[in-house]
Amino acid sequence: MSIITLDKETYYSKEYSLSKMTTEEYIRDPRFQLIGFSYQIDDGKPTWITGSDKYMAEHLHSLELEKHTLIAQNSLFDASIMSWHYGIHPKFIIDTMSMAAPIQSITKGKSLDALARHFKLGVKGKEVVAAMGKRREDFTPEELARYGGYCDNDVALTYALFNTLREYSTPQEMYVIDMFLRLYTDPILVLNKPLLEQHLVNVVERKEALLAKVEAIVGKDGLMSNPKFAAVLQKLGVVPPTKISKSTGKETFAFAKTDAPMKELLAHPDDRVQAVVAARMGVKSTLEETRTRNFIAMAVRGTLPIALNYYGAHTGRASGAESMNLQNLPRGGTLRQAIEAPPGYKVIACDSSQIEARVVAWLAGQEDLLEAFRNKVDIYSSFASDVYGYEVNKSMTDQRFVGKTAILGLGFQMGWKRFAEQVKSMSGIVISEADAKRVVNLYRSKYYRISELWDAADTAMKIVVAGGTAEFGVGIKLIWASEGVHLPNGMIVRYPGLRYDAEYESFVYDDRYGKRNRIYAGKIIENVVQALARIIVFYQTCKIDKQLRKYDKPQSRFKIVLSVHDEAVTVAPAKAAEKVKEMMVKTMSQPPVWAPDLPVACEAEIGANYGECK
């Protein structure tokens, strides 16, 4: 098997370019045109190919990528063209841009230019021909040759970059990258266009009805802007509620729908106030409408390619992309329902249960909590029983919700104020200051090993700041050296520029974008736990993918079709759905080799569409 490094040059103009539209829109556009491409086999010299569409297509097919590995800088682009325009599906896809993502804070960006300069691999050529607005026919042979030289240089740099980045990645992570790219290059899920069109009508009508009720009071644009909305409230004799901003520490309006004073205004004696507040809440999120419009536009073009940044978060979690974040679709909504399996197939989704709560208990060595998870105890009810002093069961939703919020948040040093606030905003349950403090203290004393884990992380951080190397963790010992916390799969949670900051009166580090970021015990533990949970779920997801791919070729429907943090989604022929579900449950019930005593569990559902799998 060879490694083929490749780069394509394609037509673009002022309006038709990747800076004006998504990759999917650009590649599926009728204006799309391949101008030429360079490729290099293993350590060989780059070759530039240009000519008629037929000639280039034949040359691409002659590379037999089905048997080889493709490398590109931003393979999302090159591999999608390969798949959507030429029906070529490489055996394995490597993307140097994705490989660079975990070390972005070191390389200061992940463009080919930035990476080549950082690693001193050479210089990315400046564009040698004016290509803007020119189709292939418009170039002179001499211009095309110069274009080829530029493209050859990019290919050589990309291959050198791959060899450099190898030592920062692992085979397992490369599999994850390939799997994520294929969510996009070989899309399987289908959008239900009629359903989306009807939904758009409903959403627009609902919004118009809300606005019609209050237009006389607020005018055309008094709802979205905070200062304007404040003026509207004042006009109605209401003092606009305020709060302290979490990001700036300054006073700001408390106009979010989770802000308690806003909720109270929904029951204001003046009907006009009620209507205005309800309208603001109903209009503030534009997600439903904009996403529906984007889905419809995409449905016209084809199936749903899923764009996820592999390693988008500081902790390695994936993040959304392409104006189409598929990790935050409203639960129980039409958008999820509109994502369907192809005809004759079913969607199967499998969720890892309370993975972070389990990992923090395991990392801390909190044996009683681990034992409860092992025995499949309903841990939310169980902790709520301790809080209330009587037996809480699943039917006691309020008490259980308090237990759930405690189990999911208090392991990361959440305080009593935030706890009470969160419970109230999510469920309406009011907890007194004394009770909130009691719950927090109960958690910290009952699960004292978790509090001790925070202390251990705090100590470790101070040792590292003083120039040393430290370790923390009971379930597994994690080494914290200068660059960050080393994880059992070879990856690192990085804290560049870790130091004490007098102005912030706190320890800080510089995030990916160079911004100062506070860091403290509970947050370190949360970061590390999130990173470990991600490693576990991604490992399980890859294992599911590998088992499915055995049944067909790489471009087949037998593969992972979506991943959302603690969830893996596949499609399977209706007849095989139960079997595939069993395989997924079995796979996601197994802990990784480095945590054999970690009790993991999962839940799976089968449906005709993604919405039915919840």
Partner DNA sequence: ATGCATCGCGCG
Partner DNA sequence: AAAGCGCGCGATGCAT
Q: Which is nearer to DNA, 336 or 543 (CB)?
A: 336
Using CB under 7 A, pick the residue from 70, 275, 329, 562 that binds DNA.
329
- The single-letter code of the amino acid at 600 is V
| Residue range at the interface with DNA (CB under 7 A); choices 36-44, 253-261, 383-391, 550-558 | 253-261
| Residue range at the interface with DNA (CB under 7 A); choices 81-89, 111-119, 189-197, 516-524 | 516-524
* Best CA proximity match to 59, nearest among 88, 21, 97, 30: 88
Using CB under 7 A, pick the residue from 68, 108, 523, 549 that binds DNA.
523
Number of residues that bind DNA (CB under 7 A): 76
Q: Which is nearer to DNA, 415 or 496 (CB)?
A: 415
Beta-sheet strand order (sheet of 506-510): 499-501, 506-510, 516-519
| Residue range at the interface with DNA (CB under 7 A); choices 86-94, 124-132, 251-259, 384-392 | 251-259
- Between CA 34 and CA 41, with CA 36 as vertex, the angle to 5 degrees is 125
* Best CA proximity match to 98, nearest among 352, 399, 319: 319
286 binding DNA? (CB under 7 A): yes
Q: Which is nearer to DNA, 375 or 445 (CB)?
A: 445
52 binding DNA? (CB under 7 A): no
* Best CA proximity match to 149, nearest among 265, 272, 32, 48: 48
Interaction pattern, residues 204-233, with DNA; x per rule: CB under 7 A: -----------------x--xxxxx-----
Q: Which is nearer to DNA, 71 or 461 (CB)?
A: 461
Looking only at residues 578 through 597 of this chain, which bind DNA when binding is defined by CB under 7 A?
none
199 binding DNA? (CB under 7 A): no
CA distance readout (Å), 380 to 394, 407, 489, 525, 596? 9, 7, 31, 21, 24
* Best CA proximity match to 450, nearest among 408, 483, 491, 482: 408
Helix H or strand E encompassing 560:
strand 560-563
Tokens of 267: 């029951």
Interaction pattern, residues 389-418, with DNA; x per rule: CB under 7 A: -------------------xx--xxxxxxx
| Residue range at the interface with DNA (CB under 7 A); choices 43-51, 95-103, 277-285, 543-551 | 277-285
356 binding DNA? (CB under 7 A): yes
- CA 198 to chain centroid, in Å, comes to 29
Tokens of 269: 């004696």
Q: Which is nearer to DNA, 87 or 227 (CB)?
A: 227
User: What burial letters (b/e) apply to 109-127, b meaning 16+ CB within 10 Å?
Assistant: ebebeebbbbbebeebeee
* Best CA proximity match to 388, nearest among 366, 361, 406: 406
Looking only at residues 555 through 574 of this chain, which bind DNA when binding is defined by CB under 7 A?
564-567
Q: Answer whether 89's CB lies under 8 Å from 555's CB.
A: yes
Using CB under 7 A, pick the residue from 120, 246, 394, 550 that binds DNA.
246
Looking only at residues 287 through 306 of this chain, which bind DNA when binding is defined by CB under 7 A?
287, 290, 294
- The whole-angstrom separation of Cα 341 and Cα 569 is 11
Other beta carbons within 10 Å of 250: 8
Looking only at residues 451 through 510 of this chain, which bind DNA when binding is defined by CB under 7 A?
458, 505-506
441 binding DNA? (CB under 7 A): no
Maximal CA-CA distance, the chain? 84
Instruction: Output the smallest distance, CB 440 to DNA, in A.
Output: 7
Looking only at residues 73 through 102 of this chain, which bind DNA when binding is defined by CB under 7 A?
none
Instruction: Output the smallest distance, CB 585 to DNA, in A.
Output: 17
Q: Which is nearer to DNA, 186 or 567 (CB)?
A: 567
